[in-house]
Amino acid sequence: MTVAGQGVVVTGAAGGIGKALAARLVAGGARVVINDLDPVATEAAAAEIGAYAVPGDAASVAGIVALVSAAREHLGQVDAWFANAGIVRGYGLDASEVAWAASWEVNTMAHVRAARLLVPGWLARGGGRFVVTASAAGLLTALGTATYSVSKHAVLAFAEWLSATYRHRGIVVQAICPQGVRTGMLAASGPMRTVLADGAVTPEDVAELTWQALHDDRFLILPHPEAGDHYRHRATDTDRWLGGMNKLQRHLEQDGAAR
């Protein structure tokens, strides 16, 4: 992939993985628009890394229309979209309807809505790139937070569908699936935070691996290679894998970490 000069959008980029991705893309010569909800934090991040800030809600229909329009006005065209925005809201079966709805909107539908606006233009031009941050929760599960697990599984399934449907027409789709990353979200990851903290990588580590993956177009981008091993185990011996996850759940309950 030739990044120099390309127009790129990164959502959820005022901090964490999104900001690190945007900074790496800027360093590689891309023209980058970053988006996040907090206008002050978004403007500050853009100034720091040399990007262009478009604050706003990347999940709602009106918000995504406004973001794509502003990005096209600034960049001329959007060549690549990094659908990175994500939230953790709610944990077990007691998660509220509001938490479920918010998780679905931000973690899944935001990316669907972006693709609706971007893919037709990419098909007309013969190329484009759509990268989702799906998390290892999308490959496996995240004990303690059903809302996050389900919505991340859904966005991974959507990314798979996009790739299967459009790859022969020049659209590259990729999914970043890290386990523990040293961001604010790690602290909000419920009972799994103590497990994920062991072996957690930095946002910059994720960004560098993603940068490398842009040049070979691999679908799964795995900052923790062991997540790929667990994924294969899950697919080939599901009952044993579920038994292992339940053993971990019991361990968390014994330690008083489970909600």
- Which of 91, 148, 166, 231 is flagged as catalytic? 148
Among 141, 160, 114, which residue's Cα sits nearest to residue 8?
114
CA–CA distance, 215 with 74 (Å, rounded to integer): 25
- Which strand (E) or helix (H) includes residue 21? helix 16-27
Contact between 90 and 96 under an 8 Å Cβ cutoff? The reply is yes
The per-residue b/e assignment along 214-241, b for 16 or more CB within 10 angstroms, e otherwise, is beeeebbbbbbeebeebbeebeeeeeeb
Contact between 59 and 107 under an 8 Å Cβ cutoff? The reply is no
The question of whether 166 is a catalytic residue gets the answer no
CB atoms near residue 73 (< 10 Å): 10
Active site residues: 148
